[in-house]
Amino acid sequence: MLALLSLTYTLTAAPGLTVIMSDSQINKLGQQYGEMAMRRLRRWQDLMAEIADVSEDEKLRRVNQFFNQLNFVDDIDHWQQKDYWASPVEFLITNGGDCEDFSIAKYYTLRQAGVPIEKLSIAYVKALKLNQAHMVLTYYRTPKATPLILDNLISDIKPAHQRTDLQHVYSFNGENLWLSKKGRRSTLVGTSDQLKPWVQLQSRMENQDY
């Protein structure tokens, strides 16, 4: 059984949280979880530095490509829980996660790389071909633009109107919660702290230590 991990890091791109890690933190996790886990963490840190000054399109492409190399694993098999939203570090050191974990890792990495929070949302959708709930990351170039979809199911980043296989339900980011319609945010219904798994994830990231 994989033990639930005690991890913390500070995210300068969002108040109170950071995904920038020190060498000592990476080395400590490498000693616990192995050489390959340490390499993935170092590559992630390098990626965030490399894309700091590139275009947002290039940030999206590089981050989507990086995380889509990891393995898809159901929560019940990976964490022995029905629903567990992993932090980016947990996702990387265990080399796997489900759709929420892909979306969360991409969200935090792009925030750290300087993409404004208002341009990003994690979207809860139904994958129609699979007939199951799914999560993706959405990027809005402008507030009224059709968002681009970053998805672990396919490698290409496509606008929402081209993803007819996805039925959007709601979306959220570090601030707000919206109902979704035709792939876009439609109605603001509150703040994202209404989502218990999201609150639990942020609390772990803020309060737990290596």
The reported pLDDT for the residue numbered 17 is 60
CATH T-level fold of 23-205? C8orf32 fold (3.10.620)
Greatest C-alpha distance within the chain: 47
Calculate the alpha carbon distances from 11 to 42, 72, 112, 165 in Å: 16, 25, 7, 33
Q: What is the mean pLDDT of residues 71-95?
A: 95
β-sheet bridge partners, residue 181? 184
The reported pLDDT for the residue numbered 13 is 38
Residues 85-120: tens digit of each pLDDT = 999 999 999 999 999 999 999 999 999 999 999 999
Question: How many distinct helices (H) and strands (E) make up the chain?
Answer: 7, 9
The reported pLDDT for the residue numbered 11 is 36
Segments making up each domain of the chain, as ranges: 23-205
The reported pLDDT for the residue numbered 72 is 96
Coil, strand or helix at 12: coil
| Per-residue pLDDT band at 205 (split at 50, 70, 90) | confident
Average pLDDT, the chain: 90
Query: Phi, psi (5° rounding) for residue 90?
Result: -60, -45
**In angstroms, rounded to a whole number, what is the distance separating the alpha carbons of residues 54 and 130?**
35
Residue found under tokens 């950071």 = 18
